[in-house]
């Protein structure tokens, strides 16, 4: 792995605490810059995963957020092309405790080099435990990551307060694809997952609404025998139905589900016309289309160790999650919708299905492999629904 100028600059500056994180309540955390030298703002969240920082930063659902990694040692495994979840980095910034030099046979470049190349700022040397406890107790806060050396603490706090936040914001339109395209499933799977054996026939045709879809979702659908055509978030349902899909998938994505009004209306129009599956934001959109309501969680669910109980089977799944909003259980009509999964940490809704139509969704990410394969059955369930089987 070749060293870059940005690597040398960041390692030389490592112990110089010239950067800081300013929260909207006036709290300041000092640290050293580890990425691009540009100040930025965002919603400060914490992720409890011990690994997976590349997948986190390249997940479009983190758009608008400053991600705090609770695991203290970050950067050891570097960055490689196989573990990307999208074409680029989407998080607004990165907050960590200690940056390590990359030393892994799979690494193409260091985390620092990737941050620099992506023009995304980061900060190290932060007491991430103290920051996490603060967010846990007070709830998610807006923040300003000041790494350029040009902002005073007062100016940074003011910028954090002036940022509009993610409530009521449609970020799906910012991260979606610009035109429909067919997922190149065979080439991607052999390159990214090392699959050299023959894949199952792609005998089902799926249209996926791209609200910020992760590539592992597309890989999982293909491994379950489904060929996927992606369409932009604002695609009319008439265009989707004209493709004559066997089913429609609603993807994950960032920010406030209630703000994606066009997607809620599209899901409502698709009810009863095609089998539907949703993940994360897609789950919330389906719930809203079925008459439910969403509300903001205190500090969201971000991590790969969340226990979820399947109320149908009684089994507990270890899941990966990334969301700040959740469906309100009391808002769902029990004559139409069954709650199929709940979060065992806070009892929030993690899965629903329609009582008479081939529709279901989950809040967590079955493609992310934290269990490692506890929830992968959900993709096979989608196949079964398309075939007319009951949930």
- Topology of the domain comprising 172-386: Rossmann fold (3.40.50)
Active site residue 280: yes
Contacts of 156-159 with C-beta under 8 Å, sequence gap 24+, read 156/20, 156/22, 156/28, 156/39, 157/22, 157/23, 157/24, 157/26, 157/28, 159/22, 159/39, 159/41
Identified catalytic residue from 301, 302, 323, 365 = 365
* Model confidence pLDDT, tens digit, residues 272-286: 999 999 999 999 999
How many helices (DSSP H) and strands (DSSP E) are in the chain?
12, 19
Identified catalytic residue from 280, 301, 323, 341 = 280
Rounded CA gap, 28 and 31, in Å? Answer: 10
Q: Do domains 5-162 and 172-386 have the same CATH topology?
A: no
pTM of the prediction?
0.92
The secondary structure element, H or E, covering residue 355 is none
Residue 190: pLDDT over 80: no
Closest CA to 208 of 194, 223, 222: 222
Listed by start position, the domains of the chain span: 5-162, 172-386
Active site residue 317: no
Rounded CA gap, 283 and 292, in Å? Answer: 11
What pLDDT sits at residue 17? Answer: 79
Query: Is residue 18 within 8 Å of 110, Cβ to Cβ?
Result: no
* Model confidence pLDDT, tens digit, residues 141-171: 999 999 999 999 999 999 999 999 999 999 9
Query: Is residue 322 within 8 Å of 370, Cβ to Cβ?
Result: no
Confidence of residue 374 (pLDDT cuts 50, 70, 90): confident
Share of the chain above pLDDT 70, in %: 91
Rounded CA gap, 30 and 131, in Å? Answer: 11
Active site residue 367: yes
Question: What residues contact 242, with CB distance under 8 A and at least 6 apart?
Answer: none
CB atoms within 10 A of CB 98: 15
CB atoms within 10 A of CB 206: 27
CATH ID of 5-162, from 3.30.43.10, 3.30.450.40, 3.30.450.20, 3.50.30.20? 3.50.30.20
* Model confidence pLDDT, tens digit, residues 197-232: 577 888 999 999 999 999 999 999 998 999 999 999
Tokens of 172: 């799906």
């Amino acid at each position: 792995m070749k060293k870059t100028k940005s690597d040398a600059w960041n390692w030389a500056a490592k112990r110089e605490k010239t950067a800081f994180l300013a929260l909207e309540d006036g709290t300041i955390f000092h640290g050293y810059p580890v990425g691009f030298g540009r100040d930025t703002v965002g919603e400060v969240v914490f992720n409890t995963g011990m690994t997976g920082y590349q997948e986190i930063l390249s997940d479009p659902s983190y758009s608008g957020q400053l991600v705090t990694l609770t695991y203290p040692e970050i950067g050891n495994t570097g960055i490689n092309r196989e573990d990307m979840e999208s074409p680029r980095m989407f998080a607004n910034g990165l907050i960590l405790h200690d940056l390590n030099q990359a030393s892994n046979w799979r690494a193409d470049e260091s985390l620092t080099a990737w941050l620099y190349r992506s023009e995304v700022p980061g900060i190290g040397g932060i007491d991430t435990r103290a920051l996490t406890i603060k967010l846990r107790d007070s709830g998610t806060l807006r923040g300003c990551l000041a790494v350029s050396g040009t902002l005073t603490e007062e100016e940074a706090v003011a910028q954090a307060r002036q940022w509009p936040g993610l409530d009521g914001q449609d970020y799906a339109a910012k991260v979606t694809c610009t035109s429909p395209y067919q997922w190149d499933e065979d080439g991607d799977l052999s390159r990214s997952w090392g699959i050299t054996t023959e894949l199952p026939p792609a005998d089902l045709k799926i249209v996926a609404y791209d609200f910020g879809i992760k590539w592992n979702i597309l890989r999982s659908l293909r491994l379950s025998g489904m060929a996927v055509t992606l369409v932009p978030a604002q695609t009319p349902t008439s265009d989707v139905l004209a493709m004559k899909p066997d089913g429609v998938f609603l993807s994950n994505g960032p920010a406030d589900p209630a703000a994606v009004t066009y997607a809620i209306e599209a899901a409502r129009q698709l009810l009863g016309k095609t089998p539907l599956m949703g993940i994360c934001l897609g789950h919330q959109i389906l719930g809203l289309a079925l008459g439910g309501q969403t509300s903001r969680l205190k500090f969201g669910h971000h991590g790969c160790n969340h226990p979820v109980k399947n109320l149908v089977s009684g089994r507990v799944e270890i899941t990966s999650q990334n969301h700040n909003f959740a469906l309100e259980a009391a808002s769902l009509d029990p004559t139409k919708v069954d709650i199929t999964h709940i979060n065992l940490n806070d009892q929030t809704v993690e899965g629903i299905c329609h009582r008479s139509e081939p529709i279901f969704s989950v809040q967590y990410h079955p493609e992310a492999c934290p269990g490692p394969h506890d929830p992968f059955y959900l993709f096979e369930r989608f196949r079964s629904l398309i075939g007319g089987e009951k949930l």
